[in-house]
């Protein structure tokens, strides 16, 4: 799904090549950055699910044979953990997304198509984790783009970090 950019942004394309373009009018562009699923995050999720199962098994073991419903509760909890692990597995094998900013227009490219987004809330920016909270312009649906250092190439990681530090304030 693509969107038509406003006429004010298109006027920068129609200007003559002799006229200099100001950075304050168009902002600092970010070339598409490919963000895939993180292996580290998937392994952390599996570790947490395993610890939850172990803790529940240890807690329920003394009561397992006292009443008929304890084994049923434990099996229900096991089923919920299997569903959560399967959802993490499916998310791990999802196609990567591309995130770009061109002339102050933020875009997210997925398998479904291209979506124009705007930043919302806070942008979490640590050494190993970047969380971009964005809202779709058309549907107003909120998305969180989570990027860990292993979810993209070193060059894309460096480019995104530099852009967030230097070019973000020009693009808001």
The answer, yes or no, to whether residue 169 has pLDDT greater than 80, is no
pLDDT averaged over every residue in the chain:
80
The answer, yes or no, to whether residue 82 has pLDDT greater than 90, is yes
The answer, yes or no, to whether residue 79 has pLDDT greater than 80, is yes
- List, in sequence order, every residue forming a beta bridge with 125; answer none if it has no partner: 130
Same domain for 142 and 129, yes or no, is yes
Q: Please report whether residue 14 resides in a domain.
A: no
**127: closest CA among 92, 89, 158, 96?**
158
Yes or no: say if 131 and 146 are a contact pair by the CB < 8 Å rule.
yes
Same domain for 101 and 148, yes or no, is yes
Q: Please report whether residue 83 resides in a domain.
A: yes
Q: What does the alpha-carbon distance between residue 151 and residue 160 come to, in Å, rounded to a whole number?
A: 12
Same domain for 71 and 100, yes or no, is no
Same domain for 78 and 108, yes or no, is no
Same domain for 149 and 105, yes or no, is yes
At 66, the pLDDT band (50, 70, 90 cuts) reads confident
**What sign results for the dihedral spanned by CA atoms 160, 162, 167, 169?**
positive
At 86, the pLDDT band (50, 70, 90 cuts) reads very high
Q: For the chain, what's the residue count? A: 172
Same domain for 103 and 155, yes or no, is yes
Q: What is the pTM of this model?
A: 0.65
For 111-166, how does the pLDDT look when each residue is reduced to its tens digit (9 = 90+)? 888 999 998 878 888 888 999 899 999 999 998 888 998 999 999 999 898 888 88
Q: What percent of the chain has pLDDT over 90?
A: 28
Give the domain range for residue 127.
25-36+95-171
Could you give the number of structural domains in the chain? 2
Q: Token pair of 124, please? A: 């979490």
**What sign results for the dihedral spanned by CA atoms 65, 66, 68, 69?**
negative
Q: What is the DSSP string of 95-148?
A: PPEEEEEETTEEEEEETTEEEEEEE-S--EE-SSEEEEEEEETTT--EEEEEEE
Q: How high is the pLDDT of residue 62?
A: 85
Q: How high is the pLDDT of residue 172?
A: 61
Q: Please report whether residue 111 resides in a domain.
A: yes
Residue 31 CB partners (closer than 8 Å, separation 6+): 100, 159
**What sign results for the dihedral spanned by CA atoms 145, 148, 149, 153?**
negative
């Amino acid at each position: 799904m693509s969107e038509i950019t406003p006429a004010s942004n298109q006027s920068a394309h129609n200007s003559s090549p002799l006229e200099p373009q100001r950075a304050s009018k168009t902002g600092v562009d970010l070339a598409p950055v490919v963000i895939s699923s993180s292996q580290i995050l998937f392994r952390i999720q599996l570790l947490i699910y395993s610890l939850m199962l172990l803790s529940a098994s240890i807690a329920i073991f003394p009561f397992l044979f006292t009443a008929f419903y304890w084994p049923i509760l434990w099996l229900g909890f096991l089923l919920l953990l299997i569903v959560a692990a399967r959802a993490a597995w499916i998310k791990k094998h999802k196609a990567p997304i591309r995130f770009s900013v061109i002339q102050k227009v933020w875009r997210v490219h997925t398998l479904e198509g291209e979506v124009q987004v705007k930043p919302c809330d806070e942008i979490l920016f640590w050494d190993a984790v970047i969380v971009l909270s964005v809202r779709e312009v058309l549907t107003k649906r909120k998305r969180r783009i989570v990027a860990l250092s292993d979810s993209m190439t070193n060059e894309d990681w460096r480019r995104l970090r530099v852009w967030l530090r230097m070019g973000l304030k020009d693009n808001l």
